[in-house]
Amino acid sequence: MNLFKRVPRWLLIATIGIVPVVIALVNSLRGGAILVGDRAVFALLVKDAATGSFPSVGQYSWHGWNHPGALIFYVFAPFHWLSGGAAWGLFVGVAVYSCALLVAISWLGYRLRGIWGSALGVAALLAYWVSVGRIASVDAWTPYLALPLFILFLLAVLGVTERDRPSMWMMWISGAIAVQVHVGYLPIVGLVGLVACIVFWWTGGNQRSITRPLATSILLFVPYVFDLRQSVRNVGDLARYFVTANEPTIGFSRALEVMSFEMSPQATWLAGPSEVGLIGEAPSSSLIWFIALVVCLCAATVWVWRSSEGSLRRRFLNSAPVVWALLVAGTIAVAPSASINPEGKFPSLFEPVHGSAPDIYGKKIANPIGQIWSAALMLNHLGYPEAGQAVFNAIEKVLSAGPGHAPLTPDIGGKASTEDLGKAIAAAI
């Protein structure tokens, strides 16, 4: 009992969060530790980093560019050495990486808000892992690797608005690595980080406390020098795609609807994965949820602003600009999204985005609906809407019959195999 009293509370909370990571790792290793698709490419880049080929940019994208930075490959290089290049080494490496971020989130949350801050930070990360899949915490897919860093970034932003110097270091370092892993975080990290620094300086923070962590975060891009020509070319490719490309985007109106969905009770991070998520289409919702959030933020901002000096809630006033910046940056980040190339200059891609599911490899229980639904979208895009609708209607017909009357896979309440469900949908077309 005395031993537990000596252990910091934030470490105990982090340990609770680590348990699901260990379970996910065991399940993945028992399933064969298979790496396919993006994960296999990621493993090859880790091998390059471990064997002296020194990659300079991040994971590839089918849009024709790479994500900005290669630092993440060097982070996992020691696990390649320890495992002798075996696939299980990468799974173990991602598990250690996830546990380290859990500990950092728990520590920073406790530093800023005590035991409740620690618990909420860890709970947020666990909720994310649960919402996207059972093995997300050990899966070497860049969206899964980046989001824990982003949660740490947001927690550090709160500390920066309260002039906490360690938070400044953690904000820029976690933000820089998140952007390297996945470029989609760039507008959010850039705008929110800038606003947080302005608040820090405006409230009396030391200028050096900003410049040193910022300079260190820039140094994290040092792998660029390993192949400077490729790095510069990749920056140009990113700029052309996101700034000057003529491809259609979903626009701000649809972006607001997508953001509104994430504020609703049906959001994946609350309700868990949905069938819509299998095909990679961002779901939208009525703007009522977004409007309600804006109204609540306005009311909270005024309530905090009108509180008396020295009151407990007054300390949240400095965080208000950051919260508004986060809302704006999130909408900006979503608005340029696109998934097709209607001009025909490059092939459009239609694929399920639920991953390779290495934990169920060879068990013949994977749900094929995501792949079949992707084919329906492709038929619509190619100008065969009747055929696409026929495929969609077949999926709907089989699912509506329910587990008692249709061969459904275990993830949707049935006991059938992948082949059985696929044949049932084919027969219904």
Give the model's pLDDT for residue 149. Answer: 94
100: left (phi over 0), alpha (psi -120 to 50) or beta: alpha
The model's pLDDT over 198-209, given as tens digits with 9 standing for 90+, comes to 888 888 888 888
| pLDDT beyond 60 at 141 | yes
Position 247 scores a pLDDT of 54
Do 186 and 62 fall into the same domain?
yes
Among 92-106, 185-199, 206-220, 374-388, the range with the most confident prediction by mean pLDDT is: 92-106
Higher pLDDT, 99 or 329: 99
Q: How many domains does the chain have?
A: 3
Structural domain includes residue 342: no
Does residue 285 sit in helix, strand or coil? coil
Task: Cite the DSSP H helix spans in 226-384.
Answer: 228-239, 251-262, 268-271, 275-278, 288-305, 320-334, 369-381
Same domain, yes or no: 283 and 145: no
Q: How far apart are CA 360 and CA 321, in angstroms?
A: 45
- 60: which strand partners? 66
pLDDT of the residue at 177: 94
Collapsed DSSP state (helix, strand, coil) of residue 60: strand
Instruction: Using pLDDT thresholds of 50, 70 and 90, give the confidence band for residue 406.
Output: confident
Is residue 126 pLDDT above 70, yes or no?
yes
pTM of the model: 0.73
**pLDDT score for 315:** 67
Q: Tell me how far apart the alpha carbons of residues 205 and 198 are, in angstroms, rounded to a whole number.
A: 9
Rounded Cα gap, residues 333 and 247, in angstroms: 16
Q: What is the pLDDT of residue 97?
A: 96
Residues 238 and 257 in one domain: no
Neighbouring-strand partners of residue 66: 60
Residue where a domain stops, chosen among 246, 275, 310: 246
Give the chain's length.
429
DSSP state of 242: I
pLDDT digits (tens, 9 = 90+) for 157-205: 999 988 898 999 999 999 999 999 998 888 888 888 998 998 888 888 8
Mean pLDDT for 112-127 is: 91
Instruction: Name the pLDDT band for 278 (thresholds 50, 70, 90).
Output: very low
Asked whether residue 263 is domain-assigned, the answer is yes
Torsion of CA 250, 253, 256, 257, to 10 degrees: -80
**Helix/strand/coil percent split, the chain, to 5:** 70, 0, 30
Q: Is there a single domain that holds both residue 219 and residue 277?
A: no
H-helix or E-strand containing 23?
helix 9-30
358 within some domain:
no
199 within a domain of the structure (yes/no): yes
Q: Is residue 307 part of a domain?
A: yes
**Nearest residue to 188 (alpha-carbon basis) of 353, 324, 338, 339:** 324
Last residue of a domain, one of 187, 217, 246: 246
Report the sign of the C-alpha dihedral through residues 193, 198, 201, 207, in that order: positive
* Contact (CB, 8 A) for 164 and 112: yes
Do 102 and 121 lie in one domain? The reply is yes
At residue 99, the pLDDT reads 96
Where does the pLDDT of residue 302 fall: very low under 50, low under 70, confident under 90, or very high at 90 and above? Answer: confident
Bridge partner residues of 326 (DSSP): none
**120 and 27 assigned to the same domain:** yes
Residues 94 and 142 in one domain: yes
Residue at 267 is within a domain: yes
The answer, yes or no, to whether residue 299 has pLDDT greater than 90, is no
Structure tokens at 242: 């996101």
User: Domain limits at 171?
Assistant: 2-246
Residue 86 lies in a domain: yes
Task: Judge whether 199 and 157 are in contact, CB under 8 Å.
Answer: no
Count other Cβ atoms within 10 Å, centred on residue 43: 23
Residue-by-residue DSSP string for 344-379: SSS-------S---GGGTTSS----HHHHHHHHHHH
More confident residue, 199 or 33: 199
The reported pLDDT for the residue numbered 296 is 82
Same structural domain for residues 116 and 38?
Answer: yes
Residue where one domain finishes, among candidates 337, 371, 402: 337
Among residues 221, 216, 97, 102, which one has the least CA distance to residue 151? 102
Average pLDDT for the chain:
80
Residues 209 and 240 in one domain: yes
Q: Is the pLDDT of residue 309 over 60?
A: yes
Same domain, 127 and 143: yes
Highest mean pLDDT among 114-118, 222-226, 251-255 belongs to 114-118
- Of residues 104 and 409, more confidently modeled: 104
Instruction: Decide if 350 is inside a domain.
Output: no
* Residues 159 and 215 occupy one common structural domain: yes
Model confidence at 5, pLDDT cuts 50, 70, 90, reads low
Model confidence band, residue 277 (pLDDT cutoffs 50, 70, 90)? very low
In the chain, the percentage of residues whose pLDDT exceeds 90 is 24
Same domain, 161 and 80: yes
